[in-house]
């Protein structure tokens, strides 16, 4: 150890600065290698042919990933899944496929110059890299939209069971799902409360997947799909749900969404927000990593409880309750402030 210096701190910093593991995993994931191995081990030549890539280069990348416990070379040039690699399967429960270089993820090999420009301007790197916004891509690219909707289903599968016991909508008549996505939240709520009706508010491009989810859940007869822009208006209801939406937007836009939600609330109505709530200071939290994704993909952000409180107040709302869940998101309940 060098006198006056912490060599362990130097080594930890070196690990944080090494982008190679993330890049290797992202490329292998983008190629769908984990899905190709789900039936059992395969040789590199077979994998390269299936992926239409250079065989020796693929081998070197797999060997490097295997060194980190992602895949395993069980015999020369033959690889299999490991417990970590299994989470890269697109069909795995709690799959990480959609988070690590999948079609909807920010690719780790984006030029650092783009990141630097984002830090200078606050504008998303995604827009510069693709020549259009993330949301434009979802609207215009059917394959990208399908992958995005699959990621929403995977997220809902983790969050809904943790959130449902924390809310009681039995006394409510009409629930408005703002940014309803592919419909998993509304489907679960309507199945839980059979007297509840719902309005699913989404952009037109998402209505096909939304309708299919409601039909499959057997609740389509109690749900109305309404298209529109929540930055402009929100349909009326006595409970409004905003799940995993606000973190996609900067403070000005998030405040506008909340103001529209406040206007949509019927008398004595309630707004329910499902989102990550960051701890203050240096406390570790997975949302602080997601926050970087929001910054570079869409220009959004994760927020602390204090920041949510400020946003709600700016929209004429007051927080009545906040509680965390085992799934990593929190439930924030609020109502119109008196006099609003």
Q: Which residues are catalytic, by number?
A: 247
> Would you tell me how many other CB atoms lie within 10 Å of the CB of residue 275?
21
| CA dist., res. 15 & res. 183, Å (int) | 40
Question: Torsion-angle region of residue 77: left (phi > 0), alpha (psi -120 to 50) or beta?
Answer: left
SS3 at position 317:
strand
The DSSP code for 195 is T
Cα–Cα nearest to 98, from 159, 160, 26: 26
The contacts of residue 307 (CB under 8 Å, 6+ apart) are 251
SS (H, E, C) 232-284: CCCCCEEEEEEECCHHHCCHHHHHHHHHHHHHHEEEEEEEEEEECEECCCCCC
Q: What's the token pair of residue 276?
A: 């990550």
Cα–Cα nearest to 148, from 211, 102, 96, 212: 102
SS3 at position 120:
helix
| CA dist., res. 320 & res. 265, Å (int) | 15
84, 70 contact by CB (below 8 A): yes
| CA dist., res. 58 & res. 231, Å (int) | 45
59, 51 contact by CB (below 8 A): no
186, 214 contact by CB (below 8 A): yes
């Amino acid at each position: 150890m060098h006198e006056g210096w912490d060599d362990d701190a130097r080594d930890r910093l070196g690990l944080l600065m090494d982008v190679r593991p993330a890049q290797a995993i992202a490329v292998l994931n983008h190629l769908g290698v984990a899905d190709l191995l789900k039936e059992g081990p395969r040789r590199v030549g077979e994998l390269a042919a299936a992926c239409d890539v250079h065989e020796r280069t693929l081998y070197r990348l797999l060997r490097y990933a295997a060194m980190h416990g992602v895949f395993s070379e069980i015999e020369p040039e033959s690889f299999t899944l490991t417990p970590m690699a299994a989470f890269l399967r697109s069909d795995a429960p709690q799959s990480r496929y959609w988070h690590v270089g999948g079609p909807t993820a920010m690719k780790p090999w984006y030029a650092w110059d783009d990141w630097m420009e984002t830090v200078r301007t606050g504008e998303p790197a995604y827009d510069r890299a693709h020549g259009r916004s993330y949301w434009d891509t979802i609207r215009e690219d059917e394959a990208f939209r399908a992958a995005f909707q699959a990621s929403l289903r995977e997220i809902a599968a983790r969050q809904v069971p943790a959130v449902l016991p924390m809310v009681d909508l039995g006394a409510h008549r009409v629930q408005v799902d703002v940014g309803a996505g592919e419909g998993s939240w509304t489907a679960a709520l309507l199945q839980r409360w059979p007297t509840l009706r719902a309005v699913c508010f989404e952009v037109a491009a998402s209505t096909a997947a939304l309708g299919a989810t409601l039909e499959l859940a057997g609740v389509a007869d109690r749900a109305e799909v309404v298209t529109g822009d929540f930055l402009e208006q929100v349909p009326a209801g006595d409970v409004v749900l905003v799940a995993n939406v606000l973190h996609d937007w900067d403070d000005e836009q998030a405040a506008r969404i909340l103001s529209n939600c406040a206007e949509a609330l019927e008398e004595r109505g309630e707004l329910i927000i499902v989102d990550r709530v960051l701890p203050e200071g240096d406390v570790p939290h997975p949302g602080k990593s997601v926050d970087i994704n929001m910054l570079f993909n869409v220009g959004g952000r994760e927020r602390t409880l204090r920041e949510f409180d400020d946003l709600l107040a700016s929209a004429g709302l007051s927080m009545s309750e906040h509680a965390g869940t085992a799934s990593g998101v929190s439930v924030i309940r609020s109502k119109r402030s008196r006099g609003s």
